[in-house]
Amino acid sequence: MDIIYWTNFKTKINLNIKLMKKFLHSLILFCFISNIGFAQLDGSGIAPNFTLTDIDGTSHTLYDYLDQGKVVILDFFATWCGPCNNNADEVERVYQDLGPDGNNTISMFLLESSGREDSDFAALQAFMASHSVTCPTFDECETTDVPSDYEVGYFPTYYIVYSDRSYKQVSDEPAAIYQTMVDAIAENPGLSATTYDAKVLEFDDPIGSFCIDSIRPKVTLQNYGTQTLTSVDIKSIIDDVVENTFNWTGSLAQYEIEEIELADILGIAVGDREFTFVVENPNSETDVDNTNDSLDTPFKVLLDGEIITVDITTDTYPSETSWEILDGGETFTSGGGFNTANTKYTEDVCVKAEGCYTFTIYDSYGDGNTNQPVEISLDGYTLGSITNFSTGTSASVDFCAEILAPEVTFNPNDGDTDILIDADLTLTFDLPVRLLNDDAITDPASLITLKKDNETGEDVIFTASINDNKTLITIDPDDLLDSEQDYYLSIGADIESEWDFPLESASSIFTTGTETGTGFDISSFKLNIYPNPATERINIEMNLSQRSNTEIRLFNGSGQLVKIIDKGFLTEGNHNIEVDIKELNTGLYFAKVSIGNESVTKKIQINK
In this predicted model, what pLDDT tens digit does every residue of 511-533 receive, in sequence order? 998 766 655 555 667 788 999 99
Contact 487, 560 (CB under 8 A): no
Q: In angstroms, rounded to a whole number, what is the distance separating the alpha carbons of residues 270 and 531?
A: 74
Q: Which of 13-27, 67-81, 149-163 has the highest mean pLDDT?
A: 67-81
> Does 283 lie in the same domain as 203?
yes
Q: In angstroms, rounded to a whole number, what is the distance separating the alpha carbons of residues 147 and 76?
A: 8
Give the DSSP letter of residue 141. Answer: G
- What's 224's domain CATH number? 2.60.40.10
Q: Is pLDDT at 82 greater than 70 in this prediction?
A: yes
User: How far, in Å, are 479, 555, 556, 559 from residue 588 at the CA level?
Assistant: 12, 9, 6, 10
Q: What local confidence, expressed as pLDDT, does residue 521 receive?
A: 57
Residue 561's nearest CA partner among 517, 521, 594, 527 is: 594
Give the model confidence (pLDDT) of 535-567 as tens digits: 999 999 988 888 888 999 998 877 688 999 999
In-domain check, residue 519: no
Classify residue 241 by burial, with Cβ atoms within 10 Å: 0-12, 13-18, 19+.
exposed
In-domain check, residue 520: no
**In this structure, what is the dihedral angle of CA atoms 65, 71, 76, 77, given to the nearest 10 degrees?**
-110
Contact 304, 179 (CB under 8 A): no
Q: In angstroms, rounded to a whole number, what is the distance separating the alpha carbons of residues 414 and 408?
A: 12
Contact 526, 542 (CB under 8 A): yes
Q: Which helix (H) or strand (E) holds 605?
A: strand 598-606
In-domain check, residue 129: yes
Report the chain's terminal Cα–Cα distance, integer Å.
Answer: 75
- What's 433's domain CATH number? 2.60.40.1220
User: How far, in Å, are 34, 143, 192 from residue 228 at the CA level?
Assistant: 43, 34, 13
Q: Which of 32-41, 413-422, 519-528 has the highest mean pLDDT?
A: 413-422
In-domain check, residue 322: yes
Classify residue 599 by burial, with Cβ atoms within 10 Å: 0-12, 13-18, 19+.
middle
Q: Is pLDDT at 110 greater than 60 in this prediction?
A: yes
In-domain check, residue 213: yes
Q: What local confidence, expressed as pLDDT, does residue 252 receive?
A: 96
> Does 204 lie in the same domain as 164?
no
Given 251, 280, 301, which residue is the final one in a domain?
A: 301
Report how far Cα 501 is from the mean position of its chain's Cα atoms. Answer: 25
Q: Is pLDDT at 26 greater than 80 in this prediction?
A: no
In-domain check, residue 191: no
Structural domain including 571 reads 525-606
User: How far, in Å, are 114, 192, 381 from residue 5 at the CA level?
Assistant: 12, 42, 41
Q: Which helix (H) or strand (E) holds 247?
A: strand 241-252
Q: What local confidence, expressed as pLDDT, does residue 320 receive?
A: 85
Q: What local confidence, expressed as pLDDT, does residue 246 receive?
A: 96
Q: Which alpha helices (DSSP H) does 55-165 contain, by range?
A: 62-66, 82-98, 121-131, 146-149
Angle at 136 between CA 131 and CA 142, to 5 degrees: 95
Q: What local confidence, expressed as pLDDT, does residue 43 receive?
A: 64
**Helix (H/G/I), strand (E/B), else coil: 94:** helix
Q: How confident is the model at residue 132 (pLDDT cuts 50, 70, 90)?
A: very high
Mean pLDDT, the chain, whole residue set:
87
Q: Is pLDDT at 431 greater than 90 in this prediction?
A: no
Q: What local confidence, expressed as pLDDT, does residue 341 receive?
A: 80
Phi and psi at residue 28, in whole multiples of 5°? -90, 145
Residue 222's nearest CA partner among 199, 243, 238 is: 199
> Does 72 lie in the same domain as 104?
yes
> Does 131 lie in the same domain as 17?
yes
Q: Is pLDDT at 440 greater than 70 in this prediction?
A: yes
Q: What local confidence, expressed as pLDDT, does residue 517 receive?
A: 64
> Does 388 lie in the same domain as 364?
yes
Residue 590's nearest CA partner among 448, 598, 581 is: 581
Give the pairing of strands 106-112 and 137-138. parallel
> Does 181 lie in the same domain as 84?
yes
Q: How confident is the model at residue 207 (pLDDT cuts 50, 70, 90)?
A: confident
Residue 83's nearest CA partner among 114, 48, 125, 117 is: 114
> Does 313 lie in the same domain as 239?
no
> Does 213 lie in the same domain as 167?
no
Q: What local confidence, expressed as pLDDT, does residue 291 receive?
A: 93
DSSP symbols for 257-311: EEEEE---B--PPSEEEEEEEEEE-GGGS--S-GGGSEEEEEEEE-TTEEEEEEE
Given 400, 431, 455, which residue is the final one in a domain?
A: 400
Q: In angstroms, rounded to a whole number, what is the distance separating the alpha carbons of residues 596 and 592?
A: 13
Q: In angstroms, rounded to a whole number, what is the distance separating the alpha carbons of residues 337 and 339?
A: 6
Phi and psi at residue 389, in whole multiples of 5°? -140, 75
**Average pLDDT of the segment spanning 131-157:** 92
Q: In angstroms, rounded to a whole number, what is the distance separating the alpha carbons of residues 575 and 528?
A: 11
Amino acid at 19: L
Q: In angstroms, rounded to a whole number, what is the distance separating the alpha carbons of residues 224 and 66?
A: 14
Q: How confident is the model at residue 480 (pLDDT cuts 50, 70, 90)?
A: confident
Q: What local confidence, expressed as pLDDT, does residue 221 receive?
A: 95
Q: Is pLDDT at 280 greater than 80 in this prediction?
A: yes
> Does 584 lie in the same domain as 484?
no
Residue 475's nearest CA partner among 459, 495, 489, 486 is: 489
- What's 562's domain CATH number? 2.60.40.2550
> Does 12 lie in the same domain as 128?
yes
> Does 353 lie in the same domain as 290?
no
What helix, strand, coil percent values describe the chain, rounded to 5? 10, 45, 45
Give the model confidence (pLDDT) of 164-193 as tens digits: 999 998 988 899 999 999 999 999 999 999
> Does 253 lie in the same domain as 393?
no
User: How far, in Å, are 101, 268, 575 from residue 307 at the CA level?
Assistant: 58, 18, 71
**Helix (H/G/I), strand (E/B), else coil: 175:** helix
Q: Is the dihedral of CA 576, 582, 584, 585 positive or negative?
A: positive
- What's 115's domain CATH number? 3.40.30.10
Question: What percent of the chain clears pLDDT 70, i.e. is strictly above it?
Answer: 91
Give the model confidence (pLDDT) of 291-339 as tens digits: 999 999 898 898 888 899 999 998 878 888 999 999 988 888 888 888 7
Q: What local confidence, expressed as pLDDT, does residue 25 receive?
A: 34
Given 245, 277, 301, which residue is the final one in a domain?
A: 301
In-domain check, residue 190: no
Residue 111's nearest CA partner among 73, 88, 137, 149 is: 137
DSSP symbols for 192-203: ---SS-EEEEEE
pTM score over 0.75: no
In-domain check, residue 192: no
Q: In angstroms, rounded to a whole number, what is the distance separating the alpha carbons of residues 64 and 75?
A: 18
Domain count, the chain: 5
Residue 363's nearest CA partner among 325, 392, 333 is: 392
Give the DSSP letter of residue 446. Answer: G
Contact 318, 38 (CB under 8 A): yes
Residue 519's nearest CA partner among 406, 596, 466, 603 is: 596
Residues ≥6 apart with Cβ < 8 Å to 468: none
Q: Is pLDDT at 41 greater than 70 in this prediction?
A: no
